[in-house]
A and B are shown apart, each in its own frame.
Chain A
Amino acid sequence: MSINLRRVLLPALGLLAAVYVAPAFAADDEPPPPPKQDWSFAGPLGTYDRASLQRGFQVYKEVCSACHAMSLLSYRNLTALGFSDAEVKAIAASVEVMDTEPNDQGEYVERAGRASDHFKSPFANEQASRAANNGAYPPDLSLITKAREGAADYVHAILTGYKDAPAGLAVPEGMNYNEYFHGHLIAMPAPLSEGAVTFADNTPASVEQMAHDVSTFLTWAAEPEMEARKRLGVKVILFLLLMTGVIYAWKRKVWADVH
């Protein structure tokens, strides 16, 4: 039995390793893997650093949201960042949104945002977005960390990966060189510069700090359930281990008389 187990489990684990760990045979200009960062939410017990989330939201609001939508989020979700109901209402009210229902005259009118509204998108549609962005379409950021290999590390790497193009590489008009972007040529100009925002908590706004905070915020946006998930997971697994141990003892007892 034990021999069989080992002989089967090892190849099975080998399969998983081969399929999921081994990178596809890399093309020559494949970007390097994004450097691993130290995240508060990493690991089975990791949680979101609330101060970092709030700073990250500020970076999104003041920088990213000029071009990138986050249409899956609502202002009410921001209470999870540690904002009070009143603060969330104020944040929502700071934008004008087009009402989704017509008024009594049958006209669609703009009104102040409410907590129940989805984040206001910078452009009405993809065409408007492309027209304003030199033909490029800044992706919606609601799920960006889940939708990219490397997750938060990747987002951080992109935000900090702007460099002068290597000699001999012509960067076309309207494009920028980024070490970590696939193909290295990215339409988005370096979005963060030293002091681009003034953090409410007086944290110095270095590019590194802003990239770290906004990546944390975007991870929360993609996986708002993460903390609840991990907390429940610890309880469930502890219960299962206990239950399985008891059943094993029971099994031993039942089987004691079988030869």
Chain B
Amino acid sequence: MSTSSNAPKKNGIVEWIDYRLPIFTFMNHELREYPTPKNLNYWWNFGSLAGIMLVVMILTGIFLAMNYTAHVDYAFNSVEHIMRDVNYGWLIRYIHMNGASMFFLVVYIHIFRGLYYGSYKPPRELLWWLGLVILVLMMATAFLGYVLPWGQMSFWGATVITNLFSAIPLVGDPIVTWLWGGFSVANPTLNRFFSLHYLLPFIIVGVVMLHLVALHTHGSNNPLGVDHKKNPKDSIPFHPYYTVKDMFGLGVFLVIYAGFIFFAPNFFGEPVNYVMANPLQTPAAIVPEWYLLPFYAILRSIPDKLAGVIAMFGAIFILFLLPWLDSSKVRSATFRPIYKQLFWIFLADCLVLGWAGAQHPEGAPLLIGRLAAAYYFVHFLVLLPLVSKYEKPRPLPESISTPVLAKTEKA
């Protein structure tokens, strides 16, 4: 793998096009030469994995839509038609169904990587915001998509979530009627959910583009959190170094993903969603998919409906304020002894919230969920501002090369 010639090869047609529409120059600049910190660890693989998952979801979704019928009388059976009669329909559906879980898993790891290494700090605040917008759009898309098979959990999940809007004072009920297109979750609801489920991923693509523009403006953060553009030795071209590293990460990821698709395709699902929607029969427990459980736990931890809804949306909104709540100049938790502890406690708190969201909201699980929900906000509103003000960070290396070289010499 020689890297001596990093310039694109000359080619008549390419030159002709590029002179008029510089897409080749652009791609060369952004995907090949693009200077990247040389010390990115494997936690930096999850951004590209998320992008790949978006493409996988859109492609499989397009083929599913060719065989799906968005009508309350046919939706459930049309999904079974895909599973039984469409050639490799089961494969496409299981890729899509498990893809949703994999997409969220990858994106959550990507977000927590950002939290650990302070990737939301200047000058990357808008990059962080765009990522959060993608997360919100993903949640909406996933929720809409889960309704489409029209199983029991689809129907009752849709009923519970749309009913949240009835908590809005005065206009709540009319808004819910407007969302439903009627007076209950019914055929108009399913139709519009299908339409929106098909639309939102393309909006996500648009926001991903902006996310990438913002990313490439200042480049990736890195595990040390020191600017890689100060010292020319700190950067390496994206290709071939990170293309091959991302491909290796993709391979490992696909093995896990394929494991679920082929050997445990319903691991993340609820059995009751294989029962057709029945508006007259409520399932024993209504739980969202795992990736929404922490937010569901926050919603249920507050007895008042409106306050619960505000808390749930607030839990996401507060992430937008993070660049200002954490005022420490040091990005990486590696050099922030107290913040590092806080990070791991916060991660554990989110996992506890996820657990609490899956339990019946009573007794010990409800209490634990409430404490975890309270801690979620205390972390951002109290602990983080205080720690970032009073914590004494360890000395930062001058550049990426300095500590790396020092380590190599010792070895």
Residues of A within 8 A of B (CB): 1, 4, 7-8, 11-12, 14-15, 18-20, 22, 24-25, 44, 72, 77, 139, 142-143, 146-149, 151, 182, 222, 224-225, 229-230, 232-234, 236-237, 240-241, 243-244, 247-248, 250-251, 253-255, 257-259
Contact = CB atoms under 8 A, between A and B. Distances in A.
A234 B261 CA distance: 11
B interface residue count range (under 10 / 10 to 19 / 20 to 34 / 35 or more): 35 or more
Contact of A147 (B275, B285, B293): B275
Contacts of A139: 275
Contacts of A258: 38, 236, 241
B64 to A, nearest CB: 15
22 contacts: A4-B43, A12-B351, A14-B351, A15-B351, A22-B355, A24-B358, A25-B359, A72-B84, A77-B84, A139-B275, A146-B274, A225-B83, A229-B91, A233-B258, A233-B263, A243-B251, A244-B255, A251-B247, A254-B240, A257-B3, A258-B236, A259-B405
Interface stretch (B136-144, B265-273, B382-390): B265-273
Contacts of B43: 4
Interface of B: 1, 3, 38, 41-43, 77, 80, 83-84, 90-91, 94, 112, 236, 240-241, 244-245, 247-248, 251-252, 254-255, 258-259, 261-263, 265-267, 271-272, 274-275, 284-285, 290, 293, 344, 347-348, 351, 354-355, 358-360, 362-365, 404-405, 408
Given A237-B259, A248-B248, A1 B42 contact: yes
Given A143-B80, A253-B1, 14 more contacts: A7-B344, A11-B348, A14-B351, A18-B354, A25-B362, A25-B365, A44-B263, A143-B274, A147-B271, A147-B272, A224-B84, A241-B255, A250-B248, A254-B240
Contact of A25 (B248, B271, B364): B364
A200 B308 CA distance: 61
Say what secondary structure dominates the interface of chain B.
Answer: helix
A19 B262 contact: no
Contact of A254 (B1, B252, B255): B1
B256 to A, nearest CB: 10
A14 B405 CA distance: 37
The 10 A-B residue pairs with the shortest CB-CB distance, nearest first, are A233-B262, A244-B251, A147-B274, A18-B355, A15-B351, A225-B90, A146-B274, A254-B1, A143-B274, A251-B244
Contacts of B265: 229
Say what secondary structure dominates the interface of chain A.
Answer: helix
A203 to B, nearest CB: 29
Nearest to A27: B360
Contacts of A147: 271-272, 274-275
Contact of A244 (B94, B248, B404): B248
Contacts of B240: 254
Given A24-B360, A72-B80, A224-B84, A11 B255 contact: no
Contacts of B252: 244
Contacts of A229: 90-91, 94, 262, 265
A244 B265 CA distance: 22
A15 B293 CA distance: 11
A14 B1 CA distance: 41
Nearest to A241: B255
A219 B82 CA distance: 18
A225 to B, nearest CB: 4
A259 B91 CA distance: 43
B408 A259 contact: yes
Given A254-B241, A259-B408, A146 B271 contact: yes
A229 B84 CA distance: 12
Contacts of A8: 112, 347
Given A22-B355, A148-B271, A243-B251, A237 B262 contact: yes
A230 B258 contact: no
B362 to A, nearest CB: 8
Contacts of A4: 41, 43
